[in-house]
Amino acid sequence: MADVRFLDATRVFHGAWRPAVDGVSLDVRDGELLVLTGPSGSGKTTLLRMLAGLEPMDRGSVLIGGKDVGRTAPDKRGVSMIFQGFALFPHQSIRENIALPLTMRKNSAKSAAARVQQVAELCGIADHLNSKPDSVGYDVRQRATMARAIVRRPEVVCLDEPLAGSGVPLMMRGRSPIAALQRELRITTLYATCSSIDAWTIADRIAVLDSGRVQQLGTPAEVFDKPATIAVAQFLGQPGMNLVTAAVSDGVARVGGLAVALTSTQASTLTGRRVVIGIRAEDLAIGAEADGIRATTVLVRDTGRDYLVTARMMVDGEESDLVVRHASGPVPAKGESVVLGVRAGAALHLFDAGNGVRLPD
Ligand SMILES: Nc1ncnc2c1ncn2[C@@H]1O[C@H](COP(=O)(O)OP(=O)(O)OP(=O)(O)O)[C@@H](O)[C@H]1O
């Protein structure tokens, strides 16, 4: 096993107007499950492919276990890469699927069989080796995917959207056997996903990418509680954070009936005269404050547990939508006027509207 270090890793595809991966410096700890997340096209796959040696680097370097592998052939890097979906061949048994990386390298049949058995036992699927992937459950299929990834004893495993297209329902995805197995095996793993929910539930640490750059690196709680940029705030959470632009005068940001006093450090850090106030849906309440934000309900969605109410407000002549998680009390009808207040004790997030960076708390 090994740690991984990207230093200024950069990849510019021919004809592209900006780098796909743009000066990424990132340390992945030995034995860690690091989730790379961010919107589609943010550079997750390209970064993994650079680590695996499948994509050249235009600048920067990548080190595995302290060794620069820039000139090391992909099959000598000790990186195992699993692409989208479970990627198990349906017509082959689980035994054959796990053995594939060995048979492709012409290992002797005897040693391959012994290694497959060993890995299957390690992954808790020895009883299913003769089954076809479609005839076993979700848990076994994920474990078989991981078994195939580690059969050649890699130093690092890369999983690129392993659940995409797998038909795994969202409610099951948080209970990830891949993540559970990774914790048992403690093999350094990079896991790319567009799903902030997957990232939140399985990661030791999350790296949020946007436009090829790492926006923030931290534990799920750190990143969720204190998003470093507007891009991270928008991306993480279901629904994403409400963001409202407010003008600042005399150290106070005002929008609708909402007034937020900036600390002196925040005021001196601000590069312009506008902030973006971030409020999570669960931190807003309907009809809580007479001096709250006046808005009109435009959409009400029943989640089964509560309601997500979208209310439209006008800010400087422009429409802006806020989503409120509404768990109790009368549900407003579409078209109804409402007043939105910030719940007592709720965390408000302040960002510099000029550069999108979080203001110091
Ligand atoms: N082979 C390629 N040639 C040209 N451009 C590419 C190539 N591969 C990726 N890109 C571009 O590089 C950027 C990053 O793509 P990448 O696939 O790494 O992002 P991603 O975050 O993994 O997205 P997704 O989640 O959709 O897979 C995108 O703008 C994409 O269009």
Residues 138 and 338: their CA atoms lie apart, in Å, by 44
| Cα–Cα nearest to 322, from 287, 268, 284 | 284
Q: Which of 21, 24, 46, 54 to mutate to test the pocket of ligand 1 (most atoms within 8 A of CB)?
A: 46
Instruction: Give CA 61 to chain center in angstroms.
Output: 24
Q: Give 49 or 197, the one with higher predicted confidence.
A: 49
Residues 352 and 361: their CA atoms lie apart, in Å, by 12
Quick one: pLDDT at residue 115? 92
Quick one: pLDDT at residue 319? 86
Q: What are phi and psi of 52, to 5 degrees?
A: -75, -10
Quick one: pLDDT at residue 24? 98
Instruction: Give CA 64 to chain center in angstroms.
Output: 23
Residue nearest atom 30 in ligand 1 by C-alpha distance: 41
What the chain holds in terms of domains, given with CATH numbers, is 4-227 (3.40.50.300), 242-352 (2.40.50.140)
Mean pLDDT of 46-73: 96
With cut-offs at 50, 70 and 90, classify the pLDDT of residue 177. confident
Mean pLDDT of 9-38: 96
Does the predicted interface ipTM exceed a cut of 0.90? yes
Residues 192 and 157: their CA atoms lie apart, in Å, by 11
Q: Give 241 or 138, the one with higher predicted confidence.
A: 241
pLDDT at 168 over 80: no
Confirm or reject: Cβ of 46 under 6 Å from ligand 1. Answer: yes
From the CA of 48, give the closest atom in ligand 1: 18
Confirm or reject: Cβ of 213 under 6 Å from ligand 1. Answer: no
Confirm or reject: Cβ of 40 under 6 Å from ligand 1. Answer: yes
Which token pair is 324? Answer: 């409120």
Quick one: pLDDT at residue 354? 94
Quick one: pLDDT at residue 167? 57
Quick one: pLDDT at residue 219? 96
Which token pair is 216? Answer: 């923030």
**Omega of the bond prior to 239 within 30 degrees of 0, cis?**
yes
Mean pLDDT of 301-310: 91
Residue nearest atom 16 in ligand 1 by C-alpha distance: 43
Residues 126 and 36: their CA atoms lie apart, in Å, by 31
Give the side-chain half-sphere CA count within 13 A for 119.
28
Which token pair is 305? Answer: 């547990």
From the CA of 14, give the closest atom in ligand 1: 4
Q: Give 264 or 86, the one with higher predicted confidence.
A: 264
Mean pLDDT of 348-353: 95
162: part of which helix (H) or strand (E)? Answer: none
The mean pLDDT of the chain is 89
**Omega of the bond prior to 133 within 30 degrees of 0, cis?**
no
Mean pLDDT of 51-73: 96
Confirm or reject: Cβ of 43 under 6 Å from ligand 1. Answer: yes
Confirm or reject: Cβ of 11 under 6 Å from ligand 1. Answer: no
Beta-bridge mates of residue 307: 302, 326
Q: Say how many Å lie between the CA of residue 215 and the centre of ligand 1.
A: 17
Average the pLDDT over each of 26-30, 160-164, 273-277, 308-312 and give the range with the smallest value: 160-164
Q: Are 75 and 151 in contact (CB under 8 A)?
A: no
Which token pair is 99? Answer: 């053995």
Quick one: pLDDT at residue 112? 85
Confirm or reject: Cβ of 207 under 6 Å from ligand 1. Answer: no
Q: What is the percentage of the chain residues whose pLDDT exceeds 90?
A: 63
Which token pair is 228? Answer: 């470093």
Average the pLDDT over each of 31-35, 104-108, 135-139 and give the range with the smallest value: 104-108
Q: Are 292 and 330 in contact (CB under 8 A)?
A: no
Which token pair is 117? Answer: 């058995």
94: part of which helix (H) or strand (E)? Answer: helix 94-104
Confirm or reject: Cβ of 89 under 6 Å from ligand 1. Answer: no
With cut-offs at 50, 70 and 90, classify the pLDDT of residue 169. low
pLDDT at 278 over 80: yes
pLDDT at 54 over 70: yes
Which token pair is 88? Answer: 């198990």
Q: Say how many Å lie between the CA of residue 12 and the centre of ligand 1.
A: 10
Quick one: pLDDT at residue 162? 73
| Cα–Cα nearest to 123, from 102, 95, 104 | 95
Three-state DSSP at 232 gives helix
Q: Which of 12, 45, 191, 193 to mutate to test the pocket of ligand 1 (most atoms within 8 A of CB)?
A: 45
Q: Say how many Å lie between the CA of residue 47 and the centre of ligand 1.
A: 10
